[in-house]
A and B are shown apart, each in its own frame.
Chain A
């Protein structure tokens, strides 16, 4: 199945701003990130605080919904999903 990933702001400094990946059925955000971490050097360090927790500025939207309110890293993915990786900016 195909999932589209978009990255924003500082994430673009280590990865493409948009890509479509063919991933196996049953994939989750966690397995998607593992796939991305295999492709892009530095992404893991940028996103993860520990192996199992994202840094607090990492926000992931699946079809416009924050995975924080879904099943976090275990949020399941479906064909055609759009996953946005976005570090909210905070200055003013």
Chain B
């Protein structure tokens, strides 16, 4: 199968050069749930060359309303293994690194290293703060996305340039098992994938210094200007000083 033919319809937008950039790109999809499903599917289809996908969960029947990487026969299987199978069936050209591991302070460094972009498919803020810190420390851009019911939000975090996740949401909202539907994961996952596509190919204007808020209930999206907090504990000058001190020791 010719990959030239596969990308015939998108090359007018990004050029052969842009397609080559996608092929060389190495991305981390953190979480293989509803968001991760949309992100992985569209970026694999677009021709991203290397996808590292990380999740520790097993596929359950109650995931199938939104996690489109999985099908009924996958119930009980390890998510990332089933994800790899689906992605590989879509494109034999994509290299998939499926990692069944919990993302925590101990594992995050190894998980983000060697990638050009971190994409958020997590379901809680504790894990997102860990990814946010790793993104800042390793200077790897981080596309944040999250959903609840019909609502969602997205922003692109460029370390040292834009506000980080902590600047926008300083304290984690209490974890609750909120309602979640497939279409909202699809919308927000696709906006994250769009930002990744633009960032990797150098196309358009990325969603930086703005928080996009999606309201599916009313069919409206709006983006708010967001500002960096100079003394942010994660990206501010004191965080950087602490870093310098740590290196000196």
**In the assembled complex, A63 has its CB within 8 A of some CB on chain B:** yes
Instruction: Provide the residues of chain A in CB contact with B211, threshold 8 Å.
Output: 86
Residues 139 to 170 of chain B near chain A (Cβ within 8 Å):
145-149, 151-153, 167-170
Q: Is the CB of A84 within 8 A of B224?
A: yes
Instruction: Provide the residues of chain A in CB contact with B123, threshold 8 Å.
Output: 90-92
Q: How far is the CB of B59 from chain A (nearest CB, A)?
A: 15
Q: Is the CB of B225 within 8 A of A86?
A: no
Flag B225-243 by CB within 8 Å of A: 1 or 0 each: 1110101100000000000
> Could you tell me the distance between the alpha carbons of A10 and B147 in the complex, rounded to whole angstroms?
12
Number of interface residues of A (CB under 8 A): 24
**In the assembled complex, B31 has its CB within 8 A of some CB on chain A:** yes
Q: Is the CB of A91 within 8 A of B147?
A: yes
A-B contact pairs, 22 of them (CB 8 A): A8-B213, A8-B222, A10-B148, A17-B220, A56-B171, A57-B173, A59-B168, A61-B224, A66-B167, A66-B169, A84-B224, A86-B213, A87-B173, A89-B146, A89-B147, A90-B123, A91-B147, A92-B33, A92-B34, A92-B36, A92-B121, A92-B145
Task: A8-B215, A69-B167 given; name 10 further pairs at CB < 8 Å.
Answer: A8-B213, A8-B222, A12-B217, A56-B171, A89-B153, A90-B124, A90-B148, A91-B123, A91-B147, A92-B124
- The residues of B with any CB-CB pair to A shorter than 8 Å are 31, 33-36, 120-125, 145-149, 151-153, 167-176, 178, 180, 185, 211, 213, 215, 217-218, 220, 222, 224-227, 229, 231-232
